[in-house]
Amino acid sequence: DQQVKQNSPSLSVQEGRISILNCDYTNSMFDYFLWYKKYPAEGPTFLISISSIKDKNEDGRFTVFLNKSAKHLSLHIVPSQPGDSAVYFCAASARGTSYGKLTFGQGTILTVHP
Amino acid sequence: KAGVTQTPRYLIKTRGQQVTLSCSPISGHRSVSWYQQTPGQGLQFLFEYFSETQRNKGNFPGRFSGRQFSNSRSEMNVSTLELGDSALYLCASSFRDNNSPLHFGNGTRLTVT
């Protein structure tokens, strides 16, 4: 049972344009959502998070949107840069019962072309 | 501020052997979690330790175990290694509060032959 899904295995974007990565979840107990970026041979790097009490969180070029009724979140990167090329994972947790337990999606490979 | 440190970075073991992986969390972080990443299953939660106590456990066999020391450093052990245990093992640490994300180390790449 895949509780967090990233349905797009890959995304290709031109430098300077917007990258939109999507994620769906099924577990209504999830109340904290995160995005991570991962390069080969490195661990995931935390990008941005959002609590279920919010519907939007911004940090520089990164914005995460949460639609609780649709159980959907998205990550917007504006403007996209070649250095953003990596695998992006969304993750979710139910903080009340399991702070350290994240459920991850399968990842989306983002390629930003110069 | 130093990040999460995992040792060793690479390890090659033979089926049936056991292995111990080490993790030093970010200074001040008392929660340590372990994850397994494989091409087929993605990133999967193994267990979490906080204040030397296991707080959560993922769906892995009993061959996978861990512990946490009083200085928050953690180790995980895999006994009777199988070929399918070949994976990247990642450690993550956090403050374990409502707004504290997990920060990951670069992992230990375990190859079982």
Q: Do A100 and B56 touch (CB under 8 A)?
A: yes
CA distance B103 to A77: 21
Å between B44 CA and nearest CA of chain A: 7
Question: So what's the pLDDT on residue B95?
Answer: 87
The string of pLDDT tens digits covering residues A3-12 is 999 999 999 9
Q: Which residues of A touch B31 (CB under 8 A)?
A: 99-100
Percentage of chain A surpassing pLDDT 90? Answer: 89
What is the block-wise mean pLDDT of chain B (113 residues), using blocks of 10 residues? 92 98 96 94 93 93 97 97 97 84 96 97
Using an 8 Å Cβ cutoff, are B33 and A101 in contact?
A: yes
Q: Output the average pLDDT for chain A.
A: 94
